[in-house]
Amino acid sequence: MKKTILMLAMSAMTLGAFAQKNSILVSGNFGFTSETNAAKVSTTTINFAPRLGYEFQENMTIGLNFGYSSATIGDNPALSAMNFGPFFRYNMPLGDVFSIFTDVYANYSSLSNDRGTGFNFGVTPGVLAKLGKGWATTLNFANLGYTSSGPTGAKTSEFGLEVLGTGRLTMGIQKNFGLK
């Protein structure tokens, strides 16, 4: 598993967006949900996922994902996860304002309360709308991926396609900084 993660990271770093070639991408999203079910049990979830990338060729970006999520269900202790990993984005402009893109990613996760570690990879399509001066908003709406997580010896795995499902519709903001 460690060799796979290292190989993906090295591949992403050696690979020879909407901004110009030779620019730095800073992006991310933040999420907060709070709900109470019929049994009066409340669930609160917080997600924060910044990214840092480099557009090495026009419309192609490589970079790193970072993430933190925390969920509290009723009076139970919060469960949290931290993750990081490489990503590759291919961006296809549809004019001066809109673009569609596809992110390919792999992440390693560390889960709280001795719940183990995890690994996931997948493909996520999205839409980008330029706001001006290097700023844009993004909307990811699907995911085709694989996840394996849990304590050693008791990991659970899933593979699937999710479109407009819970947690799949994410909106973010990004800024590209041109380099000279």
pLDDT in tens, 81-129: 899 999 999 999 999 999 999 999 999 999 887 778 889 999 999 999 9
The structure's pTM equals 0.77
Q: What is the pLDDT along the chain (180 residues), one digit of tens a residue?
A: 444 433 433 333 333 334 457 889 999 888 888 888 888 888 888 889 999 999 999 899 999 999 999 988 888 878 898 999 999 999 999 999 999 999 999 999 998 877 788 899 999 999 999 999 899 999 988 889 998 888 877 888 999 888 866 556 788 899 989 875
Structural domain boundaries, residue 129: 2-178
Q: How many domains does the chain have?
A: 1
* Contact of 47 with 81, CB cutoff 8 Å: no
CA–CA separation, 72 and 109 (whole Å)? 18
Q: Within 10 Å of residue 13's Cβ, how many Cβ atoms? A: 12
- Say what the pLDDT of residue 16 is: 30
What H or E segment, with its residue span, contains residue 12?
Answer: helix 2-14
* Contact of 34 with 47, CB cutoff 8 Å: no
- Say what the pLDDT of residue 31 is: 83
CA distances from 32 to 43, 61, 91, 113 (A): 11, 28, 28, 21
- Say what the pLDDT of residue 11 is: 37
Q: Which CATH number fits the domain that encloses residue 77?
A: 2.40.160.20
Amino acid, res. 58: E
